[in-house]
Amino acid sequence: MEYNETIYGPSYLLGKDVYIDGKHKIKNIGFEKYLRNLGLIDHTGPVDNLAVVWYVKDDEQYVHQIYDHDTGEIYFDEPTDEWTAEVDEIVSALLMYGNLEQQIGVI
């Protein structure tokens, strides 16, 4: 399987589904802040470069891993992590708003 990697700055904006006054809206939120809000980043230090490793299977994109490109700290790893509501939310946001096809390299 061929993996691709896309690197984002911490302020890269993803869409987040929210309800405001009973109406469904999409709110822009920085990638790092989104991961922190979901509890996937639990340290206080900054994260300057977030990397997403992804692949295509049967014409569908899948997120394999999210990690700190500078330190190597892994925030989500598809084969070993339990699939939680938080992981489902961030993966869905990446697939919808992350422009993964703008990868910098193939692993």
Mean pLDDT, range 23-36, rounded to an integer: 93
Whether residue 75 contacts residue 35, with contact meaning beta carbons closer than 8 Å, is answered with: yes
The answer, yes or no, to whether residue 21 has pLDDT greater than 60, is yes
Q: Largest alpha-carbon pair distance within the chain?
A: 45
33-82 tens-digit pLDDT: 999 999 999 998 999 999 999 999 999 999 999 999 999 999 998 866 67
Instruction: State the average pLDDT over residues 14-31.
Output: 91
pLDDT of residue 12: 92
Residue 93, Cα to own-chain centre: how many angstroms?
7
Cβ atoms of 97 and 14 within 8 Å: the answer is yes
Backbone Cα Rg of the chain: 14
Beta-ladder partners of 104: none
Find the length of the chain.
107
Burial label for 91, CB within 10 Å (0-12, 13-18, 19+), is: buried
What pTM, to 2 d.p., does this model score? Answer: 0.86
Nearest to 63, CA basis, from 17, 15, 6: 6
What does the pLDDT read at residue 55?
A: 92
